[in-house]
Amino acid sequence: MQRRIQRTVTIAALVSVVTLTVGACGGSGFSDSGGAGGTGAGTDGELTSSKDGLTVLFAPSGDAETASVTSAVESWSKSSGVGTTVVPATQLNQQLSQGFASGKPADVFYLSSDALAGYASNGSLLAYGDRLPNKDDFYPALVKSFTYDGKFYCAPKDFSTLQLVINTDMWKAAGLTDADVPTTWDQLKTVSQKLTRDGHVGLSVSGEYARLGAFMVQAGGNLMNADSTEATADSQANVQALQYVKGLLDGGELKYAKDLGAGWGGEAFGKGLAAMTIEGNWITGALSKDYPGVKYQVVELPAGPAGKGSLQFSNCWGIAADSPNQAAALKLVEQLTSADSQLAFSKAFGPMPSIGSAAEQWKTENPQLVPFLDAVDYAQGVPTAKGSADVVTDLNSKLESLATGDPQQILSQTQTNLQALTGK
């Protein structure tokens, strides 16, 4: 009882600090050590089992995701005989935290990589990853994003990466051909200049780490090391990356979406305010729905001084340590992360499967989007250290004024903030 009270207090405190990476994706955590707790039943203990039904909490990007997930859960419920209640969240973080604070969390739920550490560290999550029959089928980089303190906590439900999206009509109007597709930073600057004309800019992105961080990876850096245990924000590679972006801003060939009157890069691109943008595969759904007349091509981001680089974003299917029916919850997750389910989700609302066995079929069905999946070989995850989401939010506020700011100073402050979380 004492442990549950302590955990409830901790979870309530998390409400103000956990930030879901929804902005990155353009639209979409948890008893005693000998029982069903995150540290006990995660890999060695027995899973709880009961006649209780399951509550599934998720944050849909739109009607298509709501319908698809609901249908998949209801289909499993019918075949398994386990009752289910599907809850599309309007405020996932708040609803998730409130559920834990009340002692009645959802059994299965979406959980972002930057929220994992907070919930895993207080025993709220069941670490079930190693129980999955297909655990070796998940892409290693995604497994790393959902591993905390050496334990693979939850199955990545899907993922997205960043690539370069080109308006092909504007490209041709500027006299550019396939031979001009940029493969280096210098070439990206050149084509951005050629594409910048009255009425539209060559390149537009959101002024945030979740986009500009791709340049850091291309330069050989990132905000933290691979397992988010050490801050690396003020590395020379990151400074070089932001100096490059600052140069594009100064030259006028790059403008932030907000400076064009758009909410994000996809909107600026769709409205014809930019000839190119850097976005994830979620942009395809937005374009087909809101800007169906825009013709576009997806290509790999240009390589930087250290080679190819991108960022990856993912949510996992979390299972509550306090769920009275963990065994059924695990079976549901196994079904939801199967190749058939993930390919169906992809067709319905656009994410890429998180398992290698579905890659070839996905590529066959989505030939125009192959560059997004190819990035799995070199894309890096965002920081997952407890509290890192708040640091990234602070960094984003500084990146908004990068054109007039000092990259070294911006990154030095971020380094200090991240070191305060990890001690190194």
DSSP 8-state assignment for residue 57: E
How do 84-88 and 54-58 pair as beta strands?
Answer: parallel
**How many of the other CB atoms lie within 10 Å of CB of 17?**
14
- Cα 350 from Cα 298, distance rounded (Å): 14
- pLDDT tens per residue across all 424 residues of the chain: 333 333 333 333 443 333 333 334 433 332 222 333 343 343 447 999 999 999 999 999 889 899 999 999 999 999 999 999 999 999 998 999 999 999 999 999 999 999 999 999 999 999 999 999 999 999 999 999 999 999 999 999 999 999 999 999 999 999 999 999 999 999 999 999 999 999 999 999 999 999 999 999 999 999 999 889 999 999 999 999 999 999 999 999 999 999 999 999 999 999 999 999 999 998 988 898 899 999 999 999 999 999 999 999 999 999 999 999 999 999 999 999 999 999 999 998 889 999 999 999 999 999 999 999 999 999 999 999 999 999 999 999 999 999 999 999 999 999 999 999 998 8
Give which of 115, 158, 98 is closest to 21, Cα–Cα: 115
Give which of 298, 170, 184, 300 is closest to 244, Cα–Cα: 184
- 2-159+314-354 and 161-312+385-422, same CATH topology: yes
CATH class of the domain at 161-312+385-422: alpha beta
Give which of 397, 392, 399 is closest to 415, Cα–Cα: 392
What confidence score (pLDDT) does residue 289 get? 87
- Give counts: helices (H), strands (E), the chain: 18, 14
Quickly name the fold that domain 2-159+314-354 has: D-Maltodextrin-Binding Protein; domain 2 (3.40.190)
Q: Which two tokens stand for residue 167?
A: 């308006």
DSSP calls for 95-159: HHHHHHHTT---SEEEEEHHHHHHHHHTT-B---GGG-TTGGGB-HHHHHHTEETTEE-SEE--B
Give which of 105, 41, 408 is closest to 246, Cα–Cα: 408
What CA–CA distances, in Å, run from 401 to 66, 93, 177?
37, 28, 34
DSSP calls for 306-335: TB--EEEE-EEEEEBTT-TTHHHHHHHHHH
What confidence score (pLDDT) does residue 295 get? 98
Give which of 182, 232, 167 is closest to 385, Cα–Cα: 232
Q: Where are the domains of the chain?
A: 2-159+314-354, 161-312+385-422
**How many of the other CB atoms lie within 10 Å of CB of 134?**
14
What confidence score (pLDDT) does residue 283 get? 92
Q: Which residues pair with 255 in a beta bridge?
A: 204
Single pTM value for the model: 0.86
DSSP 8-state assignment for residue 146: T
Q: Which two tokens stand for residue 246?
A: 């600052």
Those residues whose C-beta lies under 8 Å from the C-beta of residue 224, and which sit 6 or more positions away, are 230, 231, 232, 233, 383, 385, 388, 418, 422
What confidence score (pLDDT) does residue 259 get? 98
What confidence score (pLDDT) does residue 423 get? 86
